[in-house]
Chain A
Amino acid sequence: MGKDFSSALRPAIVMTILFTVLLGLVYPLAMTGIGQAIFPSQANGSLVRDARGTVVGSTVVGQAFTADRYFQTRPSAAGKGYDGLASSGSNLGPAARALVDRLKPDIARRRAEGVSGPIPADLVTASGSGLDPDLSPAAALAQTSRIARVRGVPDERVRKLVVDATDASILGEPHVNVLALNRALDALPGTGPSGARLR
């Protein structure tokens, strides 16, 4: 066995080195090179810039929207909310008191905004990543009357934005990207100024 062991040592060490170079360096670096060349936007995070070139977000990653004039994103358990360096779900169980305690004020707030009837589940539940970029159409539509009121535009125009922005892939469930939706909202003629300028 001793001889077997030492004869196995060389391949074990050499193969570790060779595979590390191939799989740990050559492969990811080559993919980076090719990715940067062919799909530069996606490879760098699908970033969205405003007219001045400032990065305002990523089309694929969600960001916190809490203001009344925007479609608000789902509750987030990523850090203090939509923390790009601490993605996480709440991990609360289905009968956890902590979950109910979190839900109750959120639900009360929606009721106060005038949402009657059942509340769409995604509107008050935290996503798995804490960075969910989307809302279900129902959760978006539940917010249109508040937005229309704050922005002083007809509810139908806001609703139309939602319907237009809805992505109904058969592979997942229908969803709307909140960042795109809110940018469309800011672009609506005759509505209030965008959040950044207001502040």
Chain B
Amino acid sequence: MTLQGWFLILGFVALLLALTKPVGIWLFTLYEGRRTPLHVVLGPVERGFYKLAGIDPTVEQGWRRYALHMLLFNATLMAFTYAVLRLQGVLPGNPQGLAGLSPNLAFNTAISFTTNTNWQSYGGESTMSNLSQMLGLTIHNFLSAATGIALAFALFRGFARRESKAIGNFWADVTRVTLYVLLPISIVYALFLIASGVPQTMAGVVEVQTLEGAKQSLLLGPVASQEAIKMLGTNGGGFFNANSAHPFENPTALTNLMQMLSIFLIGFGLTWTFGKAVGNPRQGWAILSAMVILFLAGVTITYAQEAAGSPVLHHLGVTGGNMEGKEVRFGIAASALFSVVTTAASCGAVNSMHDSFTALGGLVPLFNMQLGEVVIGGVGAGIYGFLLFAILAVFVAGLMVGRTPEYVGKKIEAREVKLAVLAIAVLPLMILGLTALSSVLAQGLAGPLNRGPHGFSEILYAFTSAVGNNGSAFAGLTANTPYYNGLLGVAMWVGRFFIIVPMLAIAGGLAAKKYTPESAGSFPTTGGLWIGLLVGIVLILGGLTFLPSLALGPIADHLAMISGKLS
């Protein structure tokens, strides 16, 4: 570890903390449905959309209606993308002349992008035409992110409202978030990326004659426009197979920093929005503090492990940290930081290959996802996931102050507990269940590239990433098979919507409740004690659930690595 490395990490966090409130205020304006300066330009577009679609944005929806419209919209988008991918061969915008995708890959990819996972069973440059990248994939990068933020708004309203039947209008939330947050930032961001060396063209392959006289084909395309929203919307689906490690996606150390910042930007801001929505920004800061503590702990472990490197390599005479799978322009610190950022959020973009991380360095990204990606988390999804943990934390410990547990003025009762447990139980059921299945079946065992416990980690990581809607991979796993495409597709769908629906039900129930004013007897949810409690509950619940799998994967792997035992 170097001083410069820590400067980067702490500077990164400091920058985000400085941006939290401004971003939070902007999001709060949209949460409230108020005008922004951008309405001058985009207001007509918004109104035009509503008019054509027959939507009255002022009509609020109860949670069931909100959920129905959300699900139907996502299903339509998914069907559309499936069609585009299957028909790629006959559609224009295909300079490489690539064929349509197989049904199972198209199924997997359509779900993947709809659910904000952006798991890629394929290599982008050899599979996707420019049109597919734009029409089939980029739209999801916007809309899955907007859906996540809309859902977070709905849950905020559940906490904030009193004896109300409605939790907002889904269409208004999605449209506003897309038009006034995601699109404008993406435009500026994409321009920055182009200036930094990210291609933006409709052309295809450029032939290069290298200095040594060999031929090299370089693929160009509309990369920057996709890259911007890929990071901002915590999507993570790269234009190229190597994702943000690819120099065309992430050419410099500065673009790398911007990519990391943009992954967390909205997630940080939403914590403030939540606090403001429930009438006390300190509630938001408390949640953010717990997240940042968990985040920094993860960074510390991964950075230390990667900087220390592999004893196996040291034994061969190689010095320094673990550079296998890392880019020189980023180095150890920026790669370790990126890996923790991308898995803490449900982004899944990678600037280095997690599969080649040291065992414990790779455990952190894995564990981040197993916690449900609630450390900052995906845009919207992170905070609503974290609030589910907060509900459980309040319930377990809240009784200890001798009152029916309350959180931000809402009593946490049987219904909330039941739904929160239901949502949280989806994680182990899908992750552990499908991993166990694949550890037994031949189709599953055919996947891993590495042998021994590391191969197990590859399977575990894949299902964890899919259920958590992350999309990063221990990429050695050969996942483009009907077996993995199918199961991972199901895992992504369940991991997204089987959490969302109970969460919306909680939002609806909370909105209908009375407000319980805070008093000296209320369970304190702002101070250090609460922050510690949140961290403890997240770690204990996550740790207890996943320790056996981690012991047989990364931990066994680590013990083998330090003892020099190859597999």
Interface residues of A (CB under 8 A from B): 1, 4-5, 8-16, 18-20, 22-25, 27-32, 34-36, 38-39, 42-47, 54-67, 70, 74, 78, 82-100, 103-104, 107, 111, 118-122, 124-136, 139, 167, 169-173, 175, 179, 182-183, 186, 194-196, 199
A62 to B256, CA, bound (A): 17
Interface stretch of the complex, out of B354-362, B393-401, B422-430:
B354-362
Interface size of B as a range? 35 or more
11 cross-chain CB contacts under 8 A: A8-B68, A18-B52, A29-B202, A65-B211, A91-B475, A95-B564, A95-B567, A107-B316, A107-B317, A120-B319, A121-B309
Whether the pair B195, A128 counts as a contact (CB closer than 8 A) is no
Query: Contacts A20-B139, A118-B318, A134-B329 hold; do A54 and B191 have CB atoms under 8 A apart?
Result: no
Q: Give the most central of B72, B195, B201, B317: most A CB within 10 Å.
A: B317
CB distance from A77 to the nearest CB of B (A): 9
A186 to B212, CA, bound (A): 11
B34 within 8 A of A: no
Whether the pair A195, B211 counts as a contact (CB closer than 8 A) is yes
Whether the pair A23, B356 counts as a contact (CB closer than 8 A) is no
Residues of chain B within 8 A (CB-CB) of A57 are: 208, 210-211, 216
4 pairs of A and B residues whose beta carbons are closest in the complex: A173-B331, A172-B253, A128-B245, A118-B319
A170 to B14, CA, bound (A): 16
**Contact count A vs B, C-beta below 8 Å:** 402
A11 to B74, CA, bound (A): 12
Residues of chain A within 8 A (CB-CB) of B194 are: 31, 35, 38-39, 42-43
Q: Mark B537-564, 1 if CB is under 8 A from A, else 0.
A: 0000000000000000000010011001
Interface residues of B (CB under 8 A from A): 4, 7-8, 45, 49, 52-55, 65, 68-69, 72-73, 75-77, 80, 123, 125-126, 134-136, 138-139, 142-143, 171, 174-175, 178, 183, 186-187, 190-191, 194-203, 205-214, 216-220, 222, 224-226, 240-242, 245-248, 251-254, 256-257, 309-310, 312-313, 316-335, 350-353, 355-359, 449-452, 454, 457, 474-476, 557, 560-561, 564-567
Please tell me which one of the listed residues B80, B123, B205, B475 contacts residue A86 in the complex, with CB atoms under 8 A apart: B123
Whether the pair A63, B178 counts as a contact (CB closer than 8 A) is no
CB distance from A93 to the nearest CB of B (A): 4
Please tell me which one of the listed residues A66, A84, A135 contacts residue B218 in the complex, with CB atoms under 8 A apart: A84
Whether the pair B331, A133 counts as a contact (CB closer than 8 A) is no
A91 to B457, CA, bound (A): 12
A23 to B462, CA, bound (A): 29
CB distance from B98 to the nearest CB of A (A): 11
Residues of chain B within 8 A (CB-CB) of A128 are: 242, 245, 325-327, 335, 350-353
Residues of chain A within 8 A (CB-CB) of B7 are: 170
Residues of chain A within 8 A (CB-CB) of B474 are: 91
Query: Contacts A15-B49, A32-B222, A118-B319 hold; do A70 and B329 have CB atoms under 8 A apart?
Result: no
Whether the pair B205, A170 counts as a contact (CB closer than 8 A) is no
